[in-house]
């Protein structure tokens, strides 16, 4: 069930399951991430609107084939930053295969997504292609719009590459 709430002090509208406004138009992290997701679909090509998503702790995850490979928005309020990226959190060998496939196109990905996008081994087995940006203000609607648009750029650029790689693995 979706709930549409309008905050009387700001006339801003928040559409998400159970979101609650706090401190005028500032929202909790989980509510902010739900708002980011609500704003995401219009920025995606029609072919990429069929996916699954979840909010876990301070992370929004969007995935197509399974949750081990997902796009993520991670709000790190303590460090005043937001990460946007593509995460590979499956088995080490599979993650390395994904990283190699993207590594071969690193210059193309940076040309399309920007020079701050990095491909890195994050843990002993997990990989990610991501960018981190400062969280300069509060978690408000304009920032949710900006983050949704940026997440859509990651998905629009990278998911077609992943789809081709998945097809090559099967075929």
Rounded to an integer, the average pLDDT of 6-25 is 42
User: How many other C-beta atoms can be found within 10 angstroms of the C-beta atom of residue 75?
Assistant: 23
* Residue 133: both structure tokens together: 């940006």
pLDDT band (50, 70, 90) for residue 169:
confident
Rounded to an integer, the average pLDDT of 135-156 is 96
Question: Is residue 19's pLDDT more than 80?
Answer: no
Between CA 1 and CA 31, with CA 70 as vertex, the angle to 5 degrees is: 40
Burial class (CB in 10 A: 0-12, 13-18, 19+), 156: middle
Class of domain 27-170: alpha beta
């Amino acid at each position: 069930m979706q709930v549409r709430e309008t905050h009387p002090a700001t006339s801003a509208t928040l559409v998400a399951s159970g979101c609650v406004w706090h401190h005028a138009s500032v929202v909790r992290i989980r509510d902010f991430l739900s708002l980011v997701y609500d704003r995401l679909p219009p920025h995606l090509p029609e072919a990429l609107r069929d996916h699954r998503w979840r909010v876990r702790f301070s992370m929004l995850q969007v995935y197509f084939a399974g949750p081990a490979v997902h796009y993520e928005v991670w709000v790190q309020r303590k460090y005043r930053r937001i990460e946007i990226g593509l995460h590979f959190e499956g088995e080490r060998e599979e993650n390395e295969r994904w990283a190699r496939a993207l590594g071969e196109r690193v210059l193309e990905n940076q040309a399309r997504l920007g020079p701050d996008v990095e491909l890195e081994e994050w843990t002993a087995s997990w990989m990610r292609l991501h960018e981190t940006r400062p969280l300069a203000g509060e978690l408000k609607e304009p920032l949710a719009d900006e983050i949704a648009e940026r997440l859509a750029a990651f998905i629009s650029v990278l998911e077609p590459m992943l789809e081709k790689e998945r097809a090559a693995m099967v075929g």
